[in-house]
Amino acid sequence: MAKGVWIVAEQRYGAYRKISFELVSAARKLADQLGEEVGAILLGSGIEGIAGELGKYGADKVYVADNALFEPYTTDAHAAAIAKLVKEQNPSILLLGASAQGKDLSSRLVGKLATGMATDCVDLKIADGKLISIRPMYAGKCNGEIVVSAFPQMASLRPNVFPAVEKPKTAEVVKFDPGLDPGQLKTKVLEVQKDTSGKVDLTEANVIVSGGRGMKGPEGYGILEELADVLGATVGASRAAVDAGWRPQKDQVGQTGKVVSPNLYIACGISGAIQHLAGMGSSKYIVAINKDPDAPIFARADYGIVDDLFKVVPELTKEVKKLLA
Amino acid sequence: MNIVACVKQVPDTEAAIKVKPDGSGIEEAGIKWVMNPYDEFGVEEALKLKEKFGGDVTIVSVGPARALETIRTALAMGADKGIHINDPALEGADAYNIAAALAAAIKGIPHDIIFCGQRAIDDDAGQVGSVLAEFLGIPQVTFVTKLDVEGASIKVIRPIEGAQLLIQSSLPCVVTAQKGLNEPRYASLPGIMKAKKKPVDVKDAAGLGVTVAPKAKIAKTLPPPARPPGKIICGEEPAEKARELAKLLREEAKVI
């Protein structure tokens, strides 16, 4: 019988991504309810030394395969190795991050393991021994409760939503043979072009300062950049601003852009079209600054200021600077 | 070059979504149906490759009778023929079963590149492209924002957190399209006229030799969780409002 709550950890060049700890913590909680163990899979090159660290968040066992072919990540290499191990060990639940890598990998595993998956979940619960995964659909216009009838029951978790909670255990590190056949690898990463802005990606940001049509043009974003610098935030944009060419595609938040869930989302000059609300609705706190008191964004905001953003935002930057000084 | 583009008909991004009172799904009445925007990028890229290298573009869609409109839209944009997989057993089916049906249809036609959207904006599951690649036993490159064909392989750009990757893949290959890949064209009037005469094959699961066996289901559809009503910050001057907001974020919300 399938047993165990497993996660696939994510690391780049020997450094864990935060989602790995969120995954282990979420798995620990489920495993405690089921009275089962937490297993983690870690693939990479020269990563054996960091395997035990997952114990800090409650992993009982960490399965490690160390191979140069695992770095940088490719679907072929990772999916083949994980599918082989999962088929041998038969966990009942398998969790991955709904990150760039996790989305690519988890969906391939759905095929390899002939199972089902709930994508981009914001909550998980156990009922009658089965996993129930809660996830936004229609970009947050409604939620679905997903039940997977095959094994493993797979779910990918939205980054920044599940807390990483320390629950120290001494994790047993188990090396496994990934059985990699280099001839099977059909894709190759030729180049990693790093973003040199030093800014955290929108999907991983704790604070986002976002601007819409009300910014009036690309130069308007200067005051948002200043506020973002003080807050350690990443700047986002609405579809209107991206389509107008004011901001790059990668900055777009919304149904056809990125889905984000920061602790704080500051929407400036964004009316709150349903398309946009869909992409940021799971933010913990939402602030709206807009001179139109009827803008739909105010219905979603925890705090709203009805005023000229070009006057409010610089003042807010000053005030935050004072508070953080 | 033979290209397949998979398309799904979905509610328009501006559509308000109403959950049925019994939680069994969404109300379809009054919804405007469109081609999934991410699939449009796939169709456009397929047409651009056809213009450059020649060959055929086949559109494949799983959906009820109304999905034919979406196939016709793609044909009006310039695709050559369509396959419409229409079977009640596949209505709302999970990615595994949808991909199985698509794979069965695609196996029978030549394919160098298969485009899918990175996700459909209805269920937002984003799984079908990769599962399809697995069924066909070919590689996948997902969330692609740029594509170049070089001989028997492709080079693509795939953005990830804090970087973008230049990836090479052998062909055939499944490519999932992300916004930024191109600007989809509109169908021209002559295109729309011509599309009416282009062939569309209609198939069901049995005709494709596929048995539908669910792996996952949406047990319940719920309205989004309600947010507590917010506070509008009053004050005489922008500076005063900004001060109050900063204070609330610090002391009440504790997020800065």
Contacts of B158 in chain A (CB under 8 A): 100
Residues 6+ apart with CB under 8 A from A266: A207, A208, A209, A210, A227, A233, A287, A289
Please indicate, yes or no, whether residues B173 and B231 belong to a single structural domain of this protein. no
Task: Give me the residues paired with residue A304 across strands.
Answer: A288, B232
Residues B117 and B189 in one domain: yes
Instruction: Report the SS3 class of residue A55.
Output: helix
Q: Say whether B224 and A281 touch across the interface (CB within 8 A).
A: yes
Mark which residues 66-125 of B lie under 8 Å from A by CB.
Answer: 94-96, 99, 119, 121-125
The answer for residues whose C-beta is within 8 angstroms of residue B256's C-beta and 6 or more apart is: A207, A231, A264, A320, A323, A324, B246, B249, B250
* A114/B96 touch (CB, cutoff 8 Å), yes or no: yes
Maximum Cα–Cα distance for chain B, whole Å?
71
Give DSSP secondary structure letters for A184-203: G--EEEEEEEE-TT-PPPGG
- Contact check, Cβ <8 Å, A100/B232: no
B20 near A CB under 8 A: no
For residues B256 and B251, give the distance between their C-alpha atoms in angstroms, rounded to a whole number. Answer: 9
* CA separation, residue A311 to residues A75, A270, A289, A320, B241 (Å): 48, 16, 10, 15, 10
pLDDT tens digits along B108-165? 999 999 999 999 999 999 999 999 999 999 999 999 999 999 999 999 999 999 999 9
The residue behind tokens 């079963």 is B97
Average pLDDT across chain A, whole number:
96
Q: Is the pLDDT of residue A82 over 90?
A: yes
Residue B214 forms part of a structural domain? no
CB contact under 8 A, B95 and A264: no
Query: pLDDT for A258-317, tens place per residue?
Result: 989 999 999 999 999 988 998 998 899 999 999 999 999 999 999 999 999 999 999 999
- Is residue A256 left, alpha or beta, with left meaning phi > 0 and alpha meaning psi from -120 to 50? alpha
B25 touches A at CB < 8 Å:
no
Quote the domain boundaries for residue B232: 226-256
Site from B31, B131, B170, B171 to mutate, A interface, most A CB atoms within 10 angstroms: B131
HSE, side-chain direction, 13 A CA sphere, residue B243: 6
Could you tell me if B71 and B139 lie in one domain? yes
Residues in chain B closer than 8 A to A280 (CB atoms): none
ipTM attached to this prediction? 0.96
- Quick check: B226 contacting A, CB < 8 Å? no
Helix residue ranges per DSSP H, chain B: 37-53, 67-77, 95-107, 128-136, 189-195, 205-208, 238-251
Kindly report which listed range (A51-55, A165-169, B227-231, B249-253) carries the lowest average pLDDT score.
Answer: B227-231
The CATH number linked to B151 is 3.40.50.620
Confidence of residue A1 (pLDDT cuts 50, 70, 90): confident
- How many angstroms away from the CA of A133 is the closest CA of chain B? 10
Smallest CA–CA distance, residue B101 to chain A, in Å, is 13
How far apart, in whole angstroms, are the C-alpha atoms of residue B200 and residue B195? 10
Contacts of B155 in chain A (CB under 8 A): 190
User: Does A256 reach chain B within 8 Å, measured CB to CB?
Assistant: yes
* Count of the separate structural domains present in chain B: 2
Residue range A173-196: mean pLDDT, rounded: 94
Domains (ranges, CATH) in chain A? Answer: 5-184 (3.40.50.620), 202-324 (3.40.50.1220)
Q: Do B221 and A207 touch (CB under 8 A)?
A: no
Q: How many other C-beta atoms can be found within 10 angstroms of the C-beta atom of residue A293?
A: 10
Residue A73 pairs in a beta bridge with none
Nearest to A119 among B125, B169, B219 (CB): B125
CA distance A32 to chain B (A): 24
Question: Considering only CA atoms, which of B44, B56, B100, B104 is closest in space to residue B81?
Answer: B56
- Closest CB from B216, B220, B222 relative to A149: B216
Q: Are both B119 and B165 inside the same structural domain?
A: yes
Both B145 and B70 in one domain: the answer is: yes
Residues B19 and B141 in one domain: yes
Give the Cβ contact number of residue B247 at 10 Å. Answer: 13
Mean pLDDT of chain B: 96
Whether residues B106 and B29 fall in one domain:
yes
Specify the range with the lowest mean pLDDT, choosing from A81-85, A191-195, B12-16. Answer: B12-16
Quick check: bond before A136 cis, omega within 30?
A: no
Answer positive or negative: Cα dihedral of A127, A128, A131, A136: negative
Q: A95-117, pLDDT tens digit by residue?
A: 999 999 999 999 999 999 999 99
Looking at residue B226, what is its pLDDT? 82
Residue A243 CA, distance from chain mean position? 25
Asked if B39 is an interface residue toward chain A (Cβ–Cβ < 8 A), one would say no
Give me the DSSP letters along A73-124.
Answer: --HHHHHHHHHHHHHHH--SEEEEE-SHHHHHHHHHHHHHTT--EEEEESEE
- Residue A139: pLDDT above 90? no
